[in-house]
Amino acid sequence: MSKTGFKGGRLGIGTDDPVYPLDVVGDIRLTGGFRDASGNDFNFIALAGPDIARSSDLADATVGIICKDNCVGIFNNNPSQSLDVSGNIRLT
């Protein structure tokens, strides 16, 4: 990926014609986390396929996998352990 563009105050990575303030075409690797303007962590929930959503956007919906405060919950929206599973598991 060699295209990088800066246009009208917008940064494009993988594109020389960015539409959004940060416009990335291609895969992203993130080491760290997401924070809002106040410094609060964003907690994301994995939905079907490649989709993700902020946990606050889903209210009390129970979903498959959530990553929150360095813990992973499976059918548990509020994990308190490194891996926190609600329901049966099978280990082989």
| 44 and 19 inside one domain | no
| 15 and 51 inside one domain | no
| 43 and 87 inside one domain | yes
Adjacent-strand bridge partners of 65: 46, 74
| 65 and 80 inside one domain | yes
| 24 and 37 inside one domain | no
**Total domain count for the chain?**
2
pLDDT along the chain (92 residues), means of 10: 78 89 83 71 60 57 70 82 86 74
| 16 and 36 inside one domain | no
The whole-model pTM stands at 0.43
| 55 and 12 inside one domain | no
* 86: containing domain: 32-92
Q: What pLDDT does residue 78 have?
A: 82
* CA-wise closest residue to 78 among 52, 53, 55, 51: 55
| 57 and 76 inside one domain | yes
| 22 and 37 inside one domain | no
At position 61, the amino acid (one-letter code) is: A
